[in-house]
Structure 1
Amino acid sequence: METINTTIAISPAARPSMASAADDGVDVVCHEGSLPAAGKEAIDQVYAHLYCSPHYFEAEAAYADASLYVASRDGVPVAALPYKHDATEVVVVSEYLTLSDAELSRFATHMFERYPSVRRIRLPKVTAPLETVAFPCHATVSGEDMVVDLPPSVKDYETAVGKNMRRNIKRYTSALQKAFPSYRYELYLEQEIDAGDLTDIIALSCMRMQSKNIVPRFTETEIDWIVDFARKRGIVGVARIDGKVAAGAIGFRIGDNYFMHVIAHDPRFNDYSLGILCYYHTICEGIARGARRFHLLQGRYGYKYRLLAKRVDVKHADIYRNRLQFLAAMHEVARKEWQGRAWLLKQWLLHDVERLEGPGYRLLAGLVQRLRRAKRAKGLAGGDD
């Protein structure tokens, strides 16, 4: 089993002062209770991640009435953190931020000096080492980001995925064309994207979720946002058979990063790996358009590794003003530690154990699969009552 990574730091280095921030050429500004347009652009500029972008559907409500911390060097933002606070706590509302320990230390210093009664800073989802932060902190892995670092050309990517993947892509495509001569895969960008294709892909995703006894997450408001944002920054792949949408992928661009947001296929075509074809062709289009990274949603599935995705751990982090505040919160630290380890164990059982060699692992993987099928069947049977 993989090592379960947690971070508990209770011997901080000397706290940086606000003077030290100025000494290294970094200027810090806080916009209290507001998120100016320039601040929104700074967030995208620094982090280039959909799920911390103010343009993201789920982020819009979180950013209402948020304050904004901006650290800049020579007028160029190096950190832009929206946050909310009460008397005792600062909460960073952006998620999937990538930060160095030095920038986290600078931010924490500023927050603790700005708000003397604040005892803790909470970052629900952050990518950071959290090894040399200048305050006591506790972190647990709470999510993941499956990221493909893209080569400069499609040819380089085809070579990198290996001959087995290339052979499979050709085999899947050939089988589809033979069984369904009308099969076509088409890619659309921004203004070329048709709203009907998007709603058809979302409908397939809902069908897939319901088949697994999962309540679909899409609301009417979110669907409207997907349609609107896709016309501005979208990349959409559509597989058609007999002129109808059989599968599709909906992605978005932030800076030079692309993000897969919805991917789905009609279960009638399960034998043709339409999902992998959607991933592969959409990634290739991103490379052709100069993307540096393609993010493939959460979920450490084997096919994502075969597409060259690497897992990036996303952590929940709490930073405390001093050792006394850290020790006073030890009961909460213990609870979050337990939750983090339980989450990691669940992900290992669901996704990782089946890739390990050995009869014991195969037996465990088979048991997990049987339990999942039984749970799904029970849920579907319950829904029929």
Structure 2
Amino acid sequence: FKGLSMQYKLTKFDAQIAPDKAFDDRHHSMYCCVGYFNAFVPERPAYRVEINGAAVYYTVGAKRINVLGTLCQYTDEEIDLFCTFLFQQYPHKYINWGGFYHPYESGKYIAHKTAIVSDIIMDLPADEKSYLQSLNSTTRKHVQYYKRRFLRDFPEGELKVYRNEEISHELIEQIIHFNHLRMEEKNTHSDLDETDIEGFYHLCRECGIIHTVELNGRLIAATINPQINHHGHLAVISHDPEYNKYNPGQIALYETIADCIKEGGVRFHFLWDMSDYKKRFGGQLTELYYYHIYPKNTISSLTDKAKCDVTCSLMYFQKRSETGRKVIDRVKKVIGMK
């Protein structure tokens, strides 16, 4: 391409994307791996471009290029290289890209921040004992107390682990069902639907671990934990509300983290914004950066910037208001943002 001196390799996928272990290992993110793209991103064709040893996957829409993956590891120099390639391929489109752990600040292209989102991260210690000791005294006591209480009151209770091919479609369905019940109990709604059931089933069969609390073979609580290159992810946590007094979800969560440590895990992602239990279990807030990237300022890019600014302001409001979700959904609909 004119003005593009680096070597590149472009591959098109009309169906399943081929395995790419080097890509998965580099980003060590459930949201930035080929298994996730195949399970959750139906748009095809998808493309892979490799430049100077790094790669991105993307799809092409009517107005924009969607770079696949979030919680990803790219330098500003790499982002610039890929943007240069994509703009020369598609000069009349903008790029939707993000989930970076650092702000994109090279200044080479026009970048509008599109979201206020955080990943809640914990670097894992060398052993379970060290992890337990790192928790505050109240959490440490509660973790041990609720596990003992459940197994005391229900001697037939079990803490089980399912990995990859052991994970059934029915198990995923039941976990999502409990998530819906729990959200209803909190007078809110779950974002998980049939698409997520299918997606998590296929992803978990490839790289998933599910920890459960069970009673006579009946599911009481569970976590869905895809693991990529020793990074665990709390994709879903749910439990049967009938057993609230035993905190079974947090029993499953502790077992999930302990197992990650035992298996040599280096980092655990509680994901998407801080909450009380994530903080108590050791999560630290890390901001993520999402952008619409343009080759230059135009009327279209300036209009988009205004929409992005409104959305970010609404997301800030949403995080601090009970009515925030309803307001942001309504306003985003009015201004034409999805």
TM-score for both structures, normalised by structure 2: 0.82
Q: Which position in structure 2 is the counterpart of 1:356? A: none
Q: Which position in structure 2 is the counterpart of 1:376? A: none
Q: Which position in structure 2 is the counterpart of 1:18? A: 4
Which residue of 88, 94, 97 corresponds with 1:113? 88
Q: How does 1:230-245 map to 2 (within 5 A)?
A: 230-245=204-219
Q: Distance in 2 between matches of 1:28 and 1:261?
A: 34
Q: Which position in structure 2 is the counterpart of 1:69? A: 49
Deviation at 1:59, TM superposition (A): 3.2
Deviation at 1:336, TM superposition (A): 1.0
Q: Distance in 2 between matches of 1:119 and 1:214?
A: 35
Residue type matched to 2:312 in 1?
Answer: G
The answer to whether 1:318 aligns with 2:292 is yes
Deviation at 1:119, TM superposition (A): 5.3
Equivalent position SS for 2:54: strand
Q: 1:273 to 1:31 in 2, by over 3 A?
A: same
Deviation at 1:248, TM superposition (A): 1.2
Which residue of 229, 237, 256 corresponds with 1:255? 229
Deviation at 1:304, TM superposition (A): 0.4
| Structure 2 residues not aligned, in runs of 5+ | 325-338
Q: Which position in structure 1 is the counterpart of 2:34? A: 54
Q: Distance in 2 between matches of 1:61 and 1:194?
A: 22
Equivalent position SS for 1:96: coil
Deviations 1:77-122 (A, max 9, x none): 4332324255x6433233333322111111122223344x335322
Q: Distance in 2 between matches of 1:335 and 1:198?
A: 37
| Structure 1 residues not aligned, in runs of 5+ | 1-16, 351-367, 373-385
The answer to whether 1:331 aligns with 2:307 is no
Equivalent position SS for 1:99: coil
Q: 1:183 to 1:299 in 2, by over 3 A?
A: farther
43-52 or 245-254, which deviates more? 43-52
Q: Which position in structure 2 is the counterpart of 1:84? A: 60
Q: 1:204 to 1:108 in 2, by over 3 A?
A: same
Residue type matched to 1:341 in 2?
Answer: S
Q: 1:201 to 1:241 in 2, by over 3 A?
A: same
Pairs aligned (count)? 320
Q: 1:266 to 1:89 in 2, by over 3 A?
A: closer
Q: Distance in 2 between matches of 1:36 and 1:29?
A: 18
186-195 or 283-292, which deviates more? 186-195
The answer to whether 1:206 aligns with 2:187 is no
Equivalent position SS for 2:234: strand
The answer to whether 1:45 aligns with 2:25 is yes
Deviation at 1:124, TM superposition (A): 5.4
Q: Distance in 1 between matches of 2:126 and 2:54?
A: 26
Q: Distance in 1 between matches of 2:201 and 2:93?
A: 42
The structure with more radius of gyration = 1
Q: 1:125 to 1:83 in 2, by over 3 A?
A: farther
The answer to whether 1:99 aligns with 2:90 is no
The answer to whether 1:345 aligns with 2:317 is yes
Q: Distance in 2 between matches of 1:265 and 1:148?
A: 23
Deviation at 1:164, TM superposition (A): 3.0
Deviation at 1:253, TM superposition (A): 1.8
Which residue of 127, 140, 161 corresponds with 2:135? 161
Q: Distance in 2 between matches of 1:38 and 1:264?
A: 32
Deviations 1:41-97 (A, max 9, x none): 4432332211232322653303x112222123xxxx4332324255x6433233333
CA RMSD of aligned residues (A): 2.9
Q: 1:84 to 1:321 in 2, by over 3 A?
A: same
Q: 1:334 to 1:80 in 2, by over 3 A?
A: same
TM-score for both structures, normalised by structure 1: 0.73
Q: Distance in 1 between matches of 2:9 and 2:15?
A: 12
Residue type matched to 1:93 in 2?
Answer: L
Q: Distance in 1 between matches of 2:202 and 2:80?
A: 38
Whether the 8 Å CA contact 2:161–2:209 is kept in 1: the answer is: yes
The answer to whether 1:223 aligns with 2:204 is no
Which residue of 1, 9, 18 corresponds with 1:29? 9
Deviation at 1:37, TM superposition (A): 5.1
Equivalent position SS for 2:103: coil
More helix by share: 1
Deviations 1:350-383 (A, max 9, x none): 5xxxxxxxxxxxxxxxxx5xx79xxxxxxxxxxx
Equivalent position SS for 1:248: strand
